[in-house]
Amino acid sequence: MQPVIVIGAGLAGSEAAWQLAERDIPVRLYEMKPHKMTPAHHSPDFGELVCSNSLRSDQLENAVGLLKEELRRSGSLIIRCADATRVEAGGALAVDRNAFSAAITQKIRSHPLITVVEEEVTEIPREGEVIIASGPLTSDALSDAIARLFPESKYLNFFDAAAPLVTFDSVDMNSAWFASRYDRGTPDYINCPMTEEEYDAFWTALVSAQEAEVHGFEDAGVFEGCMPVEVMARRGRQTLCYGPLKPVGLRDPKTGKEPFAVVQLRKDNAQGSIYNIVGFQTHLKWPEQKRVFSMIPALKDAQFVRYGVMHRNTFLDSPRLLDRYYRVRGSERIAFAGQITGVEGYVESTASGFLAAVELARRLKGQPAADYPQETAMGALALYISNETVTQFQPMNINFGLIPPLGYRVKGKRNKNAELSKRALDALAQIVPEQREE
């Protein structure tokens, strides 16, 4: 059998390659790293998390928790590696990023049916099955080739930003404490409180701080789920207090009260020696980041091991171009996966690679298509990006708003979401014969 070409060894490409190989389909996986790196890449390993956010909630009352559970039960490589390298983060699935990428790389490189080719792809293969998972920072040459594939369409863009990292030893724990919101799970977050006066000074400095030059940047082009903290702050003095700095569910043990604002830090490695400033994606100049973020009392002497960065992300106008299996309409031998399709988030990218690969494997084996209904998170996401009635297409995280309502009343949001998740997992059990029950 002719190998399937998979372009890109990020989360979507690695998942796609693994699912094909596990179904006895040979794969040639092309990855331009380490010979060519994008500004957001730092490691030669596969599945690199270029943004230090966690893989988000692991609870079934949350839509991304449902999506992870669907992938987990379906034998996802990415979720298996995440579970194996997780670090405590309350109800979230956070990982040691280096160990996570190393685990994915080892699995992919050791699979007998996956051949890794370390070179840049500059043209879309003219024949054979292809999954393009080149990511939101697709190289210029391949981007041009994709543009030629869709001469009557165009790429869309938004800006993505990553948060700074600080060392644990440099955090003033006399001004902070460990806790998870509402004391859920283990107390894994460092909480850095601010009084109203401290917050006002911080906010004033933040909204007037100097930004790094980013060609073409406009606030309207910033994806809401990864908005720079300074852009959010400019929307109003109290905006951050209802966003990443909200104090709700966090009581300062020194006062027994909720502070005016709280900055949270989350583990970025298993050793707990490096922490991410949660929600502080930014494109401020590096000296400005040091100056402004050090105004947070617990971070007054913080050692920054990485400053926040910002880069342009590119995605397709997928509703006009792709079907529900992420295949190109009218040229189904070519499929796309990952953030380039307009799914937003690490877990969502993994799901797109999984579904594209499973469907391709079934087609190559002469099996009927796997009908992932909208009641499942994977199906809902795929149907969103392929919905031709969507006129203002924007990147989308999975959410329960994409999933049809139950049709009967359930009291309480969490109970309703739990019922939606139960319905989804029951439906999943009827779809994929390869599904693995926990």
Contact indicator for 370, 424 with CB cutoff of 8 Å:
no
DSSP class of 288: H
Strands 165-167 and 274-277: antiparallel
Cα torsion 214, 215, 219, 225: sign: negative
pLDDT given for residue 175 in this prediction: 96
**Cα 269–chain centre separation:** 17
C-alpha 233/C-alpha 231 separation (Å) is: 5
Which tokens in the block code for residue 305? Answer: 């091991």
C-alpha 12/C-alpha 31 separation (Å) is: 12
Helices (H) then strands (E): counts for the chain: 12, 16
C-alpha 244/C-alpha 241 separation (Å) is: 7
| pTM greater than 0.95 | no
Top-ranked range on mean pLDDT: pick from 49-53, 222-226, 398-402: 398-402
pLDDT given for residue 54 in this prediction: 64
Q: How confident is the model at residue 52 (pLDDT cuts 50, 70, 90)?
A: very low
pLDDT given for residue 138 in this prediction: 86
* 162-211 per-position pLDDT tens digit: 789 999 989 999 999 999 888 876 788 999 999 999 999 999 999 999 98
> Can you list the pairs that 150-155 forms with residues at least 24 positions away whose Cβ atoms lie under 8 Å?
150/316, 150/321, 153/316, 153/317, 153/320, 153/321, 154/317, 155/314, 155/315, 155/316, 155/317
Which tokens in the block code for residue 205? Answer: 């400095």
Whether the per-residue pLDDT at 437 is higher than 70: the answer is no
Start-to-end CA distance of the chain, whole Å, equals: 33
Q: Tell me the average pLDDT of the chain.
A: 89
Residue 52, helix vs strand vs coil:
coil
**Neighbouring residues of 70: CB distance < 8 A, sequence distance ≥ 6:** 351, 376, 377, 378, 424, 425, 428
Whether the per-residue pLDDT at 139 is higher than 50: the answer is yes
Q: How confident is the model at residue 152 (pLDDT cuts 50, 70, 90)?
A: confident
**Across 53-57, 166-170, 243-247, 415-419, least confident range:** 53-57
Q: How confident is the model at residue 371 (pLDDT cuts 50, 70, 90)?
A: confident
DSSP class of 396: B
User: What are the boundaries of each domain within the chain?
Assistant: 4-155+316-428, 161-311
C-alpha 187/C-alpha 177 separation (Å) is: 9
* 311-340 per-position pLDDT tens digit: 777 889 999 999 999 999 999 999 999 999
* 242-297 per-position pLDDT tens digit: 999 999 999 999 999 999 999 999 988 777 888 999 999 998 999 999 999 999 99
Nearest to 312 by CA among 213, 214, 211: 214
pLDDT given for residue 436 in this prediction: 41
The 10 Å Cβ neighbour count of residue 254 is 11
CATH fold for domain 4-155+316-428: FAD/NAD(P)-binding domain (3.50.50)
Q: How confident is the model at residue 438 (pLDDT cuts 50, 70, 90)?
A: very low
Q: Is the CATH code 2.40.30 the one for domain 161-311?
A: yes
Contact indicator for 397, 344 with CB cutoff of 8 Å:
yes
**Across 57-71, 309-323, 345-359, least confident range:** 309-323
C-alpha 190/C-alpha 267 separation (Å) is: 9
